[in-house]
Amino acid sequence: MTAFVDIPSGSDFPLENLPYGVFIPSGSDRPRPGTAIGDWVVDLHALEEAGLLDTAVFSSTTLNNFMAAGRPVWKAVRARLQHLLSADSGELRDNETLRSAAFHRQSDVTMVMPADIGDYTDFYSSREHATNVGTMFRDPDNALLPNWLHLPVGYHGRASSVVISGTDIRRPQGQTKPGDGPPVFGPCRLLDFELELGFFTGPGNELGQPITIQNAADHIFGFVLVNDWSARDIQKWEYVPLGPFLAKNFATSISPWIVTLDALEPFRCAGPAQDPEPLPYLKGSGDWSYDIDLEVGIQPEGSAGDDVVCRSNFRYMYWNICQQLAHHSVTGCNIRPGDLLASGTISGPDKGSYGSMLELSWRGTNPIPMSDGSERKFLQDGDTVVMRGAAKKDGLRIGFGEVSGRILPAHKG
Ligand code: CA
């Protein structure tokens, strides 16, 4: 497929991708839905107003209405956009007035939150990550808790503090318990990232009516990169018996472009073999993992670039997205358009593929050298964490762009 605009070689956004996001053009204050192609953003409301799309979902300042419309509409819009943007079609290419109104350079726009996120859930679906954490904090011989291989463990996170890439992250303060001493209050000392992918949902289910695993994919709109910022020292003291709370609620960063399941279809693959066999409500058909390369870089303050500290892949995840969604709703819990369900830290089998500093530095015992001569056990003030992802095969590249965030010092007092 060839687009009528130039796509730079190695671009994350060829005509086969067409991710969705929400942007504000320079000189405007109104967010509007768009798609990315090469170095451009295309204003979808402008196309809708001009009658080139027969939808009525893009006048909104979020993508929730589009997410609610469901897979047949998602597929039709994708096919229509691929046609409109292709070199073979003159409808948009030859309409100079519309083109100049609808096309914006990505470098000229501000990306904002793509959806109004009603609920955010975070899973814990990497066996390697759960095993590493269990080994460090409990017992190497029984690293996985007894439930882990039977259900996708997760917790309900905080939607209000999910922020778009580029948002600065304030080091949180909280209660910790150093060693055998009494609890103390102060800035988090063990600030960490977690490399994850998350998916946005739609149309969702009525309260009381579970989404079956067979229908789960019809309720999954697409993926973003997720950095689940984590305060390890706060987490360690607070998490028993109800799980993560303040250690996770201060910020979660997402990449601005939502890459659809349709764009990622060529990269579907089998996940790890599941033993024991899942219960019937978690037993679907087909391969629902995805071969997506992921990496994390840390850029110390004042450095020109980032040092890559982790290379992982989404296919390592033990529990897949259909199992996560079926499990989440099996009680009848209602999923709504624009909910965000994140994978959990994506760690692979080797040390360079661990998706958090906790694992990479093995709880601080193995500092990671940086190219500026410093080293990291956890994150320092001024560090910028950058995550990137792309699926690659036979010359096709479906990229995610990146999610980044810089650490600001804790508030005083
Ligand atoms: Ca997490």
Whether 310 contacts 354, CB under 8 Å: yes
**CA dist., res. 35 & res. 2, Å (int):** 16
Could you tell me the distance, in angstroms and rounded to a whole number, from the CA of residue 300 to the centre of ligand 1? Answer: 23
Q: Report which secondary-structure segment, H or E, holds 128.
A: helix 127-137
CA distance to 20, 109, 257, 388, per residue, from 402 (Å) = 14, 15, 9, 5
Could you tell me the distance, in angstroms and rounded to a whole number, from the CA of residue 344 to the centre of ligand 1? Answer: 4
Burial class of residue 217 in the structure, from the number of CB atoms within 10 Å of its CB (0-12 exposed, 13-18 middle, 19+ buried): middle
Could you tell me the distance, in angstroms and rounded to a whole number, from the CA of residue 206 to the centre of ligand 1? Answer: 27
Q: Does residue 328 carry a catalytic annotation?
A: no
Whether 398 contacts 267, CB under 8 Å: yes
Could you tell me the distance, in angstroms and rounded to a whole number, from the CA of residue 411 to the centre of ligand 1? Answer: 24
Q: Which mean pLDDT values do the consecutive 10-residue runs of the chain (413 residues) have? A: 95 98 96 98 98 97 98 98 97 97 98 98 97 92 95 98 98 96 97 98 98 98 98 96 96 99 98 97 97 98 97 98 98 98 98 98 97 97 98 97 98 79
Residue 412 has a pLDDT of 82
Could you tell me the distance, in angstroms and rounded to a whole number, from the CA of residue 400 to the centre of ligand 1? Answer: 19
Q: Where in the chain is the domain with CATH 3.90.850.10?
A: 120-408
Whether 231 contacts 251, CB under 8 Å: no
pTM of the model: 0.98
Residue 413 has a pLDDT of 63
Which of 105, 88, 117, 119 minimizes the C-alpha distance to 8? 105
Residue 137 has a pLDDT of 86
Whether 188 contacts 410, CB under 8 Å: yes
Q: Where in the chain is the domain with CATH 2.30.30.230?
A: 20-111
**CA dist., res. 324 & res. 219, Å (int):** 12
**CA dist., res. 78 & res. 263, Å (int):** 9
Could you tell me the distance, in angstroms and rounded to a whole number, from the CA of residue 228 to the centre of ligand 1? Answer: 5
Residue 54 has a pLDDT of 96
Could you tell me the distance, in angstroms and rounded to a whole number, from the CA of residue 60 to the centre of ligand 1? Answer: 30
**CA dist., res. 128 & res. 374, Å (int):** 28
Could you tell me the distance, in angstroms and rounded to a whole number, from the CA of residue 246 to the centre of ligand 1? Answer: 13
Taking domain 120-408, whether its CATH number is 3.50.50.60 is answered by no
Catalytic residue among 45, 129, 219, 327: 129
* Torsion sign over Cα 40, 45, 51, 57: positive
Residues with CB under 5 A from ligand 1 (ion): 122, 194, 228
Could you tell me the distance, in angstroms and rounded to a whole number, from the CA of residue 122 to the centre of ligand 1? Answer: 6
Classify domain 20-111 at the CATH superfamily level.
Answer: Fumarylacetoacetase, N-terminal domain (2.30.30.230)
